[in-house]
């Protein structure tokens, strides 16, 4: 079973990243042979960003993943731009990607609407690069949040079309989405997903937030005017908090509703804030230890890139041969 997932190095990681993606990485680490995890800095260049800040964000992300439990000895953890085969395969897969498919990508529509000065071609091609990330490792499973379902489906379609055109080379991956916590919502805008780039600071709980700040943010979370602790379409805010508490405590949402029946929003928000703080505390403490040693983080990413290349290079050789291209020459960094 080969498992792959990528994570953006844009900004501090938040509760939605942890519950929706990173926890799935830990499960994949136990089952994958290997589990391959990529910090996708090339994807970060598809929107406006600060080049001088990006290297530090990559190290932040590496430290956070390791603090959450990823062990570079038991999985492959690396920086995307260190493995040139990702960008090469993206170009080659563009030859079997329908323009119309890319036009229908929800995230392109959402992100392009936020770009004020320039909508980059790389943003349009983002799903092709994501498909290359996945298909380069002949991935069986992709642990992702619910918002990435469409992109994994496109990767499957690209693999099918490539194999139909050039011969059976690539593997069609399956997405694996958490049964609970797949989509954690913004505390201030509970109709929108918690996001690094959207919403407000008060709507996001960062993994490295102090416990007091976490409880304060939860207490200020937007909810409806009622008092019943129950999930409902018209109660987006309280439904989100029920989901978060259920994940943090490892119980079913129905059990949360029974536990807090009749207690009101104030007591429930306090309990949710404390549960989140308890969940994130060991990750936050370990992160601070790891992040202090930048040279060790760089060494870890370089070693991971070497291991990733051992898998990627033979796949690219197969792709070159299938497409009738010249013999690929791989130069170690």
Query: Is pLDDT above 70 for 62?
Result: yes
Q: Is 274 or 46 the better-scoring residue by pLDDT?
A: 274
Q: For residue 106, how far is the Cα from the chain centroid?
A: 16
pLDDT of residue 328: 60
pLDDT of residue 153: 93
pLDDT of residue 233: 87
Query: Is pLDDT above 90 for 3?
Result: yes
pLDDT of residue 24: 83
* Residues 291-314: tens digit of each pLDDT: 999 999 999 999 999 999 999 999
Query: Is pLDDT above 90 for 193?
Result: no
For residues 96-117, give the mean pLDDT.
Answer: 81
pLDDT of residue 199: 75
Q: What is the pTM of this model?
A: 0.88
pLDDT of residue 333: 47
Query: Is pLDDT above 70 for 18?
Result: yes
pLDDT of residue 149: 80
pLDDT of residue 330: 59
For residues 121-126, give the mean pLDDT.
Answer: 88
* Residues 252-287: tens digit of each pLDDT: 999 999 999 888 899 999 999 999 999 999 999 999
Helix axes 294-323 and 149-166, enclosed angle (nearest 10): 40
Question: Residue 26 in 3-state DSSP?
Answer: helix
Whole-number Å distance between alpha carbons of 46 and 57: 16
pLDDT of residue 182: 67
pLDDT of residue 56: 96
pLDDT of residue 122: 84
Q: Is 198 or 237 the better-scoring residue by pLDDT?
A: 237
Q: Which residues contact 12 (CB under 8 A, 6 or more apart)?
A: 60, 196, 206, 207, 208
Query: Is pLDDT above 80 for 290?
Result: yes
pLDDT of residue 329: 63
Nearest to 298 by CA among 50, 42, 31, 66: 66
pLDDT of residue 245: 95
Q: Which residues contact 250 (CB under 8 A, 6 or more apart)?
A: none
pLDDT of residue 148: 79
For residues 116-144, give the mean pLDDT.
Answer: 91
């Amino acid at each position: 079973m080969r498992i792959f997932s990528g994570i953006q190095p844009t900004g501090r990681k938040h509760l939605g990243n942890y519950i929706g993606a990173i926890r799935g990485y830990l499960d994949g680490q136990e089952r994958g042979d290997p589990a391959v995890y990529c910090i996708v800095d090339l994807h970060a260049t598809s929107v406006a960003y600060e080049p001088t800040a990006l290297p530090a964000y990559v190290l932040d992300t590496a430290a956070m993943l390791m603090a959450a439990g990823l062990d570079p000895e038991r999985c492959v953890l690396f920086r995307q731009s260190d493995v040139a085969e990702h960008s090469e395969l993206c170009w080659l897969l563009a030859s079997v990607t329908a323009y119309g498919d890319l036009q229908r990508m929800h995230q392109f529509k959402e992100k392009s609407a936020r770009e004020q000065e320039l909508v980059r071609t790389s943003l349009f091609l983002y799903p092709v690069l994501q498909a290359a990330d996945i298909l380069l490792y002949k991935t069986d499973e992709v642990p992702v949040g619910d918002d990435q379902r469409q992109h994994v489906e496109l990767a499957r379609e690209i693999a099918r079309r490539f194999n139909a055109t050039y011969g059976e080379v690539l593997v069609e991956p399956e997405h694996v989405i958490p049964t609970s916590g797949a989509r954690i919502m913004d505390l201030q805008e509970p109709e929108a997903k918690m996001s690094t780039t959207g919403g407000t600071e008060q709507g996001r709980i960062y993994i490295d937030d102090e416990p007091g700040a976490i409880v304060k943010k939860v207490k200020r979370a937007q909810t409806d005017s009622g008092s019943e602790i129950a999930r409902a379409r018209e109660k987006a805010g309280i439904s989100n908090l029920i989901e978060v508490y259920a994940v943090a405590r490892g119980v079913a949402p129905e059990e949360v509703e029974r536990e807090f029946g009749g207690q009101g929003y104030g007591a429930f928000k306090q309990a949710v804030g404390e549960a989140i703080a308890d969940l994130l505390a060991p990750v936050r403490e370990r992160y601070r230890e790891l992040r202090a040693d930048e040279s060790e983080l760089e060494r870890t990413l370089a070693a991971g890139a070497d291991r990733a290349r051992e898998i990627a290079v033979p796949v690219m050789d197969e792709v070159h041969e299938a497409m009738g291209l010249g013999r690929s020459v791989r130069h170690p960094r």
